[in-house]
Amino acid sequence: MFTRILGYKIFSGTKKELLGYINDFDKVNIISGNPEILYSGIKDEFLNSVFTEKNSIIIPDGVGTVLASKLVKNPVKEKIAGIEVMEEILSKCEKENKRVYLLGAKEEVLKECIINLITKYPKLVIIGAHNGYFDLNNCEDIINDIREKNPYALFIAMGCPRQEIFIANNIKHLPCKVFMGVGGSFDVFAGTVNRAPRWMINLGLEWLYRVIKEPWRINRLGAIPKFLWKVLFYK
């Protein structure tokens, strides 16, 4: 059920299999393993330790990661987008009356995200929320709020490595079952950023759509060839 890439265990099953697999954990940290994120873990010892923890699951979120799995001759079954996993968990929480907490993004984005999520999932209980603009070393009020409200799932949209640092520092102290760093997903739900058309997603071209819409992202694409080069020559 896993593919080894650069010392990482990448989940190689389907999205449906993933959702069943996470039920076996008391606490689970779901990591969207695109090449940029995984390459950052190669360069940073702390991030690497977070990504390789026993309760961490790295999903193949990105065509570069899917390609890397083919290079090591143990291909994953499918690309699993982090935002789609988040949607599946939100749907589960709505059906099973499980509570969620949202942490991250700008205040106005967060508010619009909540409005749109409740519209899409009318019975979803968003038990609490806080924007992502706070000091990671001085946020006991937020930690206490999450602890007291006891959500099933905690989604953190603060980008890498900030969201990973928050999870690593607090996963042992918070009662949540599911921890997931979701990057810019709140912006997508808020409607300030759009995902690529389905045909581009199916063709593995979502990255191209993002670059067209947000040209500044092109600087981040350099991590993909560096990552694949590492995969080719990893011993």
Read off the pLDDT of each residue in 144-167 and give the average, rounded to a whole number.
96
- Residue 188 pLDDT exceeds 90: yes
Which of 37-51, 158-172, 185-199, 200-214 bottoms out in mean pLDDT, i.e. has the lowest? 200-214
pLDDT, residue 209, reads 60
pLDDT, residue 53, reads 95
pLDDT, residue 225, reads 85
Yes or no: say if 157 and 86 are a contact pair by the CB < 8 Å rule. Answer: no
Domains, the chain, ordered by start: 1-77+220-235 (no CATH), 81-193 (3.40.50.2300)
pLDDT, residue 218, reads 60
Residue 17's CB is within 10 A of a number of other CB atoms, namely 14
pLDDT, averaged across the chain:
92
DSSP string computed for the chain: -EEEETTEEEE-S-HHHHHHHGGG-SSEEEEE--HHHHHHHHH-HHHHHHHTSTTEEEE--SHHHHHHHHHTT---S----HHHHHHHHHHHHHHHT-EEEEEES-HHHHHHHHHHHHHHSTT-EEEEEE-S-S-TTS-HHHHHHHHHH--SEEEEES-TTHHHHHHHHHTTTS--SEEEE-TTHHHHHHTSS-PPPHHHHHTT-HHHHHHHH-GGGGGGGGHHHHHHHHHHH--
With bands split at pLDDT 50, 70 and 90, how would you rate the model's confidence at 168?
A: very high
- Residue 155 pLDDT exceeds 70: yes
pLDDT, residue 216, reads 60
Which residue type sits at 128?
Answer: G
- Residue 196 pLDDT exceeds 70: no
Yes or no: say if 65 and 10 are a contact pair by the CB < 8 Å rule. Answer: yes
Which of 76-85, 87-96, 118-127, 209-218 bottoms out in mean pLDDT, i.e. has the lowest? 209-218
With bands split at pLDDT 50, 70 and 90, how would you rate the model's confidence at 233?
A: confident
- Residue 6 pLDDT exceeds 70: yes
Per-residue burial over 167-192, b if 16 or more Cβ lie within 10 Å, else e, is bbebbeebebbbbbbbbbbbbbbbee
Which of 34-38, 55-59, 131-135, 149-153 bottoms out in mean pLDDT, i.e. has the lowest? 34-38
- Residue 88 pLDDT exceeds 90: yes
pLDDT, residue 150, reads 98
pLDDT, residue 215, reads 67
Going by DSSP bridges, is the β-strand pair 178-181/153-157 parallel, antiparallel, or unpaired? parallel
What is the percentage of the chain residues whose pLDDT exceeds 70? 91
pLDDT, residue 221, reads 65
Read off the pLDDT of each residue in 120-141 and give the average, rounded to a whole number.
97
With bands split at pLDDT 50, 70 and 90, how would you rate the model's confidence at 127?
A: very high
